């Protein structure tokens, strides 16, 4: 499955956040009997109010949200791209993730020193981006002579060479490939770090959570990438509390949703993922697919046999189902569609698959 690597400079609250993610993942894993979770992986459920509604209609015994996997990637320090610290391990680990989440320190605490002295989100973002850019430039430096040779003997390799040359120019100017908006298709084979989608977590003091001008300034620093604002210390407390007390703590700092839930939602979207829904007395569940997935591909997420033996899908949109009040009523109202193997899944589809085994 797809994962998001969490990186950040030392003392920004990465471990605090990651411990909260791990706790939340262990709670969630109890619902997924066959899930094994690696120690450096934290899993969060993607909040989805539609599931509770489906559970009500179908009298489901349980609700299973989609989930997002975060991987703790230690070892980002200045010079990591040159192998400083455990830089090489850091680069190898981050290469395997599908998106990069930077944790940026905003909170001030005289007892927690910052590696570069004072608190400066803009400088820290620059420090991290510089390491990632330098790593990509090294990759390109190695790849360019090989690509030039290939392009000489094979016209089809010209696009790859030109894309790599273009990427080197962008990176030389200090811009990440993701932020540059350049076409990344011909670069995919190089697995460049800054071509991955980025998202940002700003770790704020509790009293900064409601500071709209501050949040706007920080969001602007990283746009068009998405930003999540949270207080890692509060997140680590929230995961220890029963639901009602957690809600009380959240409301006391002016928040409606935990930072982890926001992170799950934003992370899910950043990975280019989408859900469809199934519902019955056993469970109401959100299943994860890539945007643009067809009905057989969606069936394959439940079981590979469902994809192989796919016949058709009965699809009702969530809103139609809720308006009708039951599956039977929705069918009677002509809201159930029979879709074939070319159907492209839409967000909010409630589905029943028919298949041969
Ligand atoms: P890491 O090095 O990035 O993994 O940072 P840690 O999670 O170990 O945090 C470093 C120190 O900062 C610890 O003493 C944390 O308790 C503290 N810390 C983490 N997040 C916050 C926060 O949001 N506010 C405050 N005041 N302290 C925090």
Instruction: Give tens-digit pLDDT for 45-61.
Output: 998 999 999 999 999 99
40 in contact with ligand 1, CB cutoff 6 A: no
Find out whether 14 is annotated in a ligand binding site.
yes
Report which secondary-structure segment, H or E, holds 251.
helix 243-252
Interval 162-188 mean pLDDT: 94
Interval 211-237 mean pLDDT: 96
- Establish if 27 belongs to a structural domain: no
Residue 286 confidence (pLDDT): 96
- Establish if 312 belongs to a structural domain: yes
Prediction pTM value:
0.89
What percentage of the chain exceeds 90 in pLDDT? 78
Each residue of 325-339: pLDDT tens digit? 999 999 999 999 999
Interval 23-48 mean pLDDT: 75
Query: How many angstroms separate the alpha carbon of residue 29 from the centre of ligand 1?
Result: 26
If one counts the domains in the chain, the total is: 1
Q: Would you say residue 137 has pLDDT above 90? A: yes
Distance CA 25, CA 70 (A): 10
What percentage of the chain exceeds 70 in pLDDT? 96
Q: Would you say residue 181 has pLDDT above 80? A: yes
Distance CA 137, CA 308 (A): 43
Ligand 1 pocket test: which of 6, 11, 42 has the largest number of ligand atoms within 8 Å of its C-beta? 11
Residue 348: CATH number of its domain: 3.10.20.30
Q: Would you say residue 210 has pLDDT above 90? A: yes
Find out whether 312 is annotated in a ligand binding site.
no
Ligand 1 pocket test: which of 13, 111, 202, 255 has the largest number of ligand atoms within 8 Å of its C-beta? 13
Find out whether 15 is annotated in a ligand binding site.
yes
- Establish if 320 belongs to a structural domain: yes
Q: Would you say residue 27 has pLDDT above 60? A: yes
- In what side-by-side order are the strands of the sheet with 198-203? 41-45, 67-72, 3-7, 99-105, 198-203, 226-230
Q: Pick the atom of ligand 1 nearest to 17's CA.
A: 7
- Establish if 325 belongs to a structural domain: yes
Range of the domain at 344: 292-355
- Establish if 31 belongs to a structural domain: no
107 in contact with ligand 1, CB cutoff 6 A: yes
Find out whether 26 is annotated in a ligand binding site.
no
Helices (H), 119-222: 121-153, 158-172, 177-180, 212-222
Q: Would you say residue 230 has pLDDT above 70? A: yes
| Residue 33 pLDDT class (50, 70, 90 cuts) | low
| Residue 113 pLDDT class (50, 70, 90 cuts) | confident
Q: Would you say residue 43 has pLDDT above 80? A: yes
Angle at 315 between CA 310 and CA 320, to 5 degrees: 175
- Establish if 338 belongs to a structural domain: yes
- Establish if 272 belongs to a structural domain: no
- Establish if 193 belongs to a structural domain: no
8 in contact with ligand 1, CB cutoff 6 A: yes
| Residue 35 pLDDT class (50, 70, 90 cuts) | low
115 in contact with ligand 1, CB cutoff 6 A: no
Angle at 20 between CA 16 and CA 26, to 5 degrees: 145
The torsion angle over the Cα atoms of residues 234, 236, 239 and 242, rounded to 10 degrees, is: -50
Residue 340 confidence (pLDDT): 96
What angle do helix axes 259-270 and 14-29 make, rounded to 10 degrees? Answer: 80
């Amino acid at each position: 499955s797809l994962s998001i690597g969490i990186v950040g400079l030392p003392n920004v609250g990465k471990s605090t956040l990651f411990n909260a993610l791990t706790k939340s993942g262990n709670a969630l894993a109890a619902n997924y009997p066959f899930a094994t979770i690696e120690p450096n992986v934290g899993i969060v459920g993607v909040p989805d109010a539609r599931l509770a509604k489906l559970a009500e209609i179908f009298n489901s015994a349980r609700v299973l949200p989609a989930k997002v996997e975060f991987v703790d990637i230690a070892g980002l320090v200045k010079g990591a791209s040159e192998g400083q610290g455990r830089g090489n391990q850091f680069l190898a680990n981050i290469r395997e993730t599908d998106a990069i989440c930077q944790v940026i320190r905003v909170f001030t605490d005289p007892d927690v020193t910052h590696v570069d002295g004072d608190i400066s989100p803009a400088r820290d973002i620059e420090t991290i981006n510089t390491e990632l850019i330098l790593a990509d430039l090294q990759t390109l430096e190695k790849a360019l002579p090989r690509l030039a040779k290939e392009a000489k003997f094979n016209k089809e390799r010209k696009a790859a060479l030109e894309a790599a040359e273009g990427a080197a120019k962008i990176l030389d100017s200090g811009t990440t490939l993701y932020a540059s908006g350049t076409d990344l298709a011909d670069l995919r084979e190089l697995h460049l770090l800054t071509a991955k989608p980025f998202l940002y977590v700003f770790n704020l003091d509790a009293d900064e959570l409601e500071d709209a001008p501050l949040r706007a300034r920080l969001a602007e620093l990283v746009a068009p990438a998405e930003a999540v604002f949270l207080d890692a210390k509060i997140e680590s407390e929230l995961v220890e509390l029963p639901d009602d007390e957690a809600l009380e703590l959240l409301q006391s700092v002016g928040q409606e949703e935990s930072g982890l839930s926001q992170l799950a939602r934003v992370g899910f979207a950043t990975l280019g993922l989408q859900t469809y829904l199934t519902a019955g007395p056993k469970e109401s569940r959100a299943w994860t697919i890539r945007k643009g997935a067809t009905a057989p591909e969606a069936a394959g997420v439940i079981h590979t046999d469902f994809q192989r033996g796919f016949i058709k899908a009965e699809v009702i949109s969530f809103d139609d189902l809720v308006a009708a009040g039951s599956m039977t009523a929705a069918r009677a109202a002509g809201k159930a569609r029979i879709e074939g193997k070319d159907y492209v899944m839409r967000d909010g589809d409630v589905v029943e698959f028919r298949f041969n085994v």
